[in-house]
Amino acid sequence: MPPNCEMPSSSKTAAMTTREKANLIKQLQDEALRNLSPNTLYIVLYLRSDPPEPNNFHWGFYFHGEHVGGWKYHMRNLGDGWIADHGTSSGVFKSTFLCVLIQIADIPSAKRDQLDQIMRSRDGDVNSIPGMSCRVWLLEILHQLAQQGLVRCSDCKALEQECFRIGNHHSYGASKNNQPRPVVKSELCY
């Protein structure tokens, strides 16, 4: 990340007004979004508690398109069951609870429709997945993406553990609202 993308030290931000801090955070988030590679797939981890608890994240996918913005894919629990919550996103870095983006694949433009179909493939029967959670759904979809050759990952369980390690490493900074949130390349998928 370029040096001008880093949040100033706390001594510098202490003298800033709330509005100046908010504007700086927006600038950092916008720059981080512009710096994402087009046609790239990420696993996105969100904090579920403050202070953060180890291995306690909401899991989803984010596909960054050719322009600023992309598509989010995740499942939400509404108490009686899980529902798909997929859609376009122009502000992945703006989520208060965002912890980290983990880059797992480059997806050719010609494969975008196939990616979308796989992401939505369990929407109708998501509650029949054994042990259903957002993480379990993500691993199910990840397995399909690997089978179809969209993600190069031979061990989805090892990737899950890598994501836990990365998320745990960055969770404290996210809880302190360090900006922008980090983007980390998976060592297992790249």
Q: Residue 187 has what pLDDT?
A: 97
pLDDT of residue 54: 98
This model's pTM is above 0.85:
yes
The answer to whether residues 114 and 149 touch, using CB atoms and an 8 Å cutoff, is no
Identify any residues that bridge with 75 across adjacent strands, giving them in sequence order: 84
Looking at residue 127, its pLDDT comes to 96
Q: How far apart are CA 93 and CA 73, in angstroms?
A: 15
- In this structure, are residues 119 and 73 in contact, taking their beta carbons and an 8 Å threshold? yes
- Residue 74: the pLDDT is 97
Q: What is the pLDDT of residue 68?
A: 73
Domain ranges in the chain are 3-185
Give the pLDDT score at 79. 84
- pLDDT tens digits for the chain (190 residues)? 433 345 555 545 567 899 999 999 999 999 999 999 999 999 999 999 999 999 999 999 999 998 778 999 999 999 889 999 999 998 899 999 999 999 999 999 999 999 999 999 999 999 999 999 999 999 999 999 999 999 999 999 999 999 999 999 999 999 999 999 999 999 999 6
Q: Annotate the chain with DSSP letters as a single string.
A: --GGGSPPPHHHHHTS-HHHHHHHHHHHHHHHHHHSPTTEEEEEEEE-SSS--TT-EEEEEEEE-SSS-EEEE-EEE-SS-EEE--EEES-GGG-TTEEEEEEEEE--GGGHHHHHHHHTTTGGGGGGSTT--HHHHHHHHHHHHHHTTSS--S-HHHHHHHHHHHHHHHHHHHHTT-SSPPEEE-TTT-
